[in-house]
Structure 1
Amino acid sequence: MTTGYRRAADYLSSLLAESDLDELAARLRPDTGPPSPHVPGAALVTPEAVERRWQILPPSIEREDLLDARTRQQMALYGHNIENFIGTVKLPVGIAGPLRVRGLFAQGDFYVPLATTEAALVASYSRGAMLISEVGGASAMLLNEGVSRSPAFAFASLEELGRFVAWLLGEQESIRQAAEATTRFGRLVDLRISIEGNHVYLVLVYTTGDAAGQNMATIATEAAVAWIREHTPVPPRAAYIEANFSGDKKASVQSLQSVRGRKVTAEVRIPAELVRRRLHTSVEAMVDYGRFATVGGVMSGTLGIEGHYANGLAAMFIACGQDAACVAEAAVGNTRMEMTGEGELYVSVTLPNLIVGSVGGGTRLPSQQACLGLMGLAGTGHGRALAEVAAALCLAGEISIVGAICAGEFTRAHARLARGARE
């Protein structure tokens, strides 16, 4: 994380052109004056609590932009999803599709809701989705499931640690029972151990039914850690419920190689004539570009090789009530493009970290429930299908963006849709 000498010098010169060093330094010193009023009401979502919060906000803000009549009517529904509630933010929602999916769990044509402020995004994913549908759909297969938490324990020595691990290996059934007692749907399916000096990291892996399962795994792990601390013959010097080893909400090599959430792969074959007619390029050009993109990704040190999974996943996550921060890990994966022996374009995507669910969390909110509903994927029984649709959506986006770059249309599409009508 270095900065070049010339860039640093230019930046300093630009600062000193407006202020001297003493004034700049003064800006960085603590201000010991009284802070602004605290936000009242904490987790209360009532008209009275919301009104008290609005009283401390600038009067220039138009309240109806955040607290419109519909939001006031439904505010009680947000009580389990937000603190210090003052209203809702509206984002434009478009639909990409039809996207035909032929999965183990997702079957049919889907119009996928995407909430975004980025013009050209929905158009791109919709173009890829329609092309996939035209050739019979994307084959999609859920491969694995598992949401993890990584508690850690510190000991005075390797001897203490060794005695602890020896005891722990005989207690996996008791640990499982303690964890699963907190949940109706979660199941502890794996417990892995990693040792570093006199510290031991555990990775507890859960299946979580139709929920994304982050909170479910956290609560279950809290119970497991409490049981371990109560029963171990070698008390740890310190214990933590999460020691940054699970890959939670960050890209990691571990989750790329295994699973965190739901692992899905999807593929499609597109005849050369359709590549030419719909994408205005050739199979050869797209495969050649894929090689460039792979080498570029390796040289830049990316985890996985893909074009823009994050675009589609972020828009879908927001629309469908998923945890948007999980895009940090969900957008890690691999795209592969090849020419088949018949001259067709073969494209596959593999995403090992799709943290998605059809129940729980933000899926219960009115707009998000409606977005899941328009795909027929709201509620119990649809978590796995939602993951397969998400993978197929990423497949559509990869086909479209590579086609646009190869056809020389990438910049023109953004200029026309994102800027042309406004400037």
Structure 2
Amino acid sequence: MTTQNIPTSKAPAKAVPDSITPVPTRWVGPLRISGNAATDETHVPLATYESPLWPSVARGARISRLIDGGIRATLVDERMTRSILLEATDAQAAHVAARALDDRLEELRVLTRTTSRFAELLAVRHEIVGPLLYIRCEFATGDASGHNMATLAADALLTHLLAHIPNVSYGSISANYCTDKKATAVNGILGRGKNVTAEILIPRQTVADRLRTTAAKIAHLNVTKNLVGTLLAGGIRSANAHYANMLLAFYLATGQDAANIVEGSQGITYADDRDGDLYFSCTLPNLIVGTVGNGKGLPAVEDALARLGCRAERPIGDNARRLAALAAATVLCGELSLMAAQTNPGELMHAHTRLERLNGAPHGH
């Protein structure tokens, strides 16, 4: 066997200058929202290369303004998680360690408060696999999405547990039972981020005039496409048409960690024909958003959060709750519009072709 000598340069590598990748951003709406986290009308920013998304969300927003109360967004729960791993000699030792952990919850809560002014330990859950003890720590994190805050607190808790619980050793500061940026069942069951349901009741005539369809058609498509189709595909706690489209666009425009759309898009669309009127809801149990922290100091992000009303003087956490409600309402607008379009043969492709030509995007093959 021969080898090839590849010349290498001894000159120092040139530093690659930082650059900003432009993502087209438009404000659509306004959408009308009510509920326990936001009640008003506001435009929302969407940063995307998929130009048909703007008019699609705008159609849903127009419908929201025709409804008394618009889209009702209910924030059900909120918590950020980080899982840590301890290793014992066997399952019995891991079980003893778990019992000891449960007995120390109050001191762990006190310790958590020393790591941040805003961190609060809400709960600790654990699973044992052989000699492995997986510990899922759940925190309140104020107006931050809380990734770093939760990790900092979890690191302090891990150090404390190793010092005070015998017969265990360090496994990992992050053990994938969180679960961060991966499609799993545990987040939907136990919660990660903001759990929000956005819902709307649309009169029969508005469904016909504005969506060119019927409540019965949308409800039927939701079963056959979102529920049965997703089941056949092996979806994990998810039954929706395209939550990820709206979430990514909203996350990029508001300075969020875009990778969190992986768990964020694991939501469920529910549609019901109520004597011709359409009840339509989008439940998003894993909305991970914040109004402070990494990315929020960029001028465009600061402007977006201010225009969204998420820079106001409010109790700690309320700005992030408002942002989550607006994200869920935005998802509903786009989901409703797409589902309506897909009840009509040819409408979706016609709209994409026309709008992409209008915006100068390449099309065709």
In the superposition, the TM-score normalised over structure 2's length comes to 0.91
User: Is 1:104 equivalent to 2:36 in the alignment?
Assistant: yes
The one-letter code matched in structure 1 to 2:253 is A
Give the match for residue 319 of structure 2: 382
User: Is 1:406 equivalent to 2:348 in the alignment?
Assistant: no
> Structure 1 130/231 Cα, relative in aligned 2: closer, same or farther at 3 Å?
same
CA contact under 8 A between 1:146 and 1:205: conserved in structure 2? Answer: yes
CA contact under 8 A between 1:306 and 1:333: conserved in structure 2? Answer: yes
In the aligned structure 2, how far is the partner of 1:206 from the partner of 1:394? Answer: 26
Give the match for residue 228 of structure 1: 161
Gapped regions of structure 1 (runs ≥ 5): 1-21, 40-51, 55-84
Superimposed CA distance per residue, residues 102-156 of structure 1 (whole angstroms, 9 cap, x where no aligned partner): 0201110010000111110111011111111211201111000111111011112
The one-letter code matched in structure 1 to 2:24 is P
Give the match for residue 291 of structure 2: 358
User: Is 1:282 equivalent to 2:214 in the alignment?
Assistant: yes
Gapped regions of structure 2 (runs ≥ 5): none
Residue among 257, 262, 266 paired with 1:323: 257
In the aligned structure 1, how far is the partner of 2:183 from the partner of 2:203? Answer: 34
Shift of 1:35: 7.7
Choose between structure 1 and 2: higher helix proportion.
Answer: 1
CA contact under 8 A between 1:290 and 1:337: conserved in structure 2? Answer: yes
Shift of 1:376: 1.3
User: Is 1:253 equivalent to 2:185 in the alignment?
Assistant: yes
Give the match for residue 169 of structure 1: 102
Deviates most, 172-181 or 100-109: 172-181
User: Is 1:309 equivalent to 2:243 in the alignment?
Assistant: yes
Deviates most, 101-110 or 154-163: 154-163
> Structure 1 338/164 Cα, relative in aligned 2: closer, same or farther at 3 Å?
same
Choose between structure 1 and 2: higher strand proportion.
Answer: 2
Q: Does the residue aligned with 2:27 lie in a helix, a strand or coil?
A: strand
CA contact under 8 A between 2:91 and 2:129: conserved in structure 1? Answer: no
Give the match for residue 200 of structure 1: 133
CA contact under 8 A between 1:201 and 1:245: conserved in structure 2? Answer: yes
In the aligned structure 2, how far is the partner of 1:223 from the partner of 1:163? Answer: 21
The one-letter code matched in structure 2 to 1:382 is N
CA contact under 8 A between 2:144 and 2:292: conserved in structure 1? Answer: yes
Superimposed CA distance per residue, residues 142-180 of structure 1 (whole angstroms, 9 cap, x where no aligned partner): 000111111011112223223322322211122222222
Superimposed CA distance per residue, residues 252-296 of structure 1 (whole angstroms, 9 cap, x where no aligned partner): 111122310000011101111111111112222212211211211
Shift of 1:32: 6.7
Residue among 268, 272, 285 paired with 2:200: 268
CA contact under 8 A between 1:322 and 1:357: conserved in structure 2? Answer: yes
Number of residue equivalences: 353
Shift of 1:418: 1.4
In the aligned structure 1, how far is the partner of 2:131 from the partner of 2:167? Answer: 13
Deviates most, 328-337 or 165-174: 165-174
Give the match for residue 67 of structure 1: none
In the aligned structure 2, how far is the partner of 1:247 from the partner of 1:181? Answer: 24
Q: Give percent identity, aligned residues only.
A: 34
In the aligned structure 1, how far is the partner of 2:38 from the partner of 2:4? Answer: 55
In the aligned structure 2, how far is the partner of 1:359 from the partner of 1:375? Answer: 14
In the aligned structure 2, how far is the partner of 1:34 from the partner of 1:330? Answer: 45
In the aligned structure 2, how far is the partner of 1:184 from the partner of 1:30? Answer: 59
In the aligned structure 2, how far is the partner of 1:410 from the partner of 1:36? Answer: 56
Q: Does the residue aligned with 1:363 lie in a helix, a strand or coil?
A: coil
Give the match for residue 5 of structure 1: none
CA contact under 8 A between 1:359 and 1:378: conserved in structure 2? Answer: no
Q: Does the residue aligned with 1:140 lie in a helix, a strand or coil?
A: strand
Q: Does the residue aligned with 1:361 lie in a helix, a strand or coil?
A: coil
Superposition RMSD in Å: 2.2
CA contact under 8 A between 2:83 and 2:137: conserved in structure 1? Answer: yes
CA contact under 8 A between 1:163 and 1:234: conserved in structure 2? Answer: no
User: Is 1:418 equivalent to 2:356 in the alignment?
Assistant: yes
Give the match for residue 14 of structure 1: none
User: Is 1:296 equivalent to 2:229 in the alignment?
Assistant: yes
User: Is 1:148 equivalent to 2:148 in the alignment?
Assistant: no
Give the match for residue 339 of structure 1: 273
> Structure 1 347/35 Cα, relative in aligned 2: closer, same or farther at 3 Å?
farther
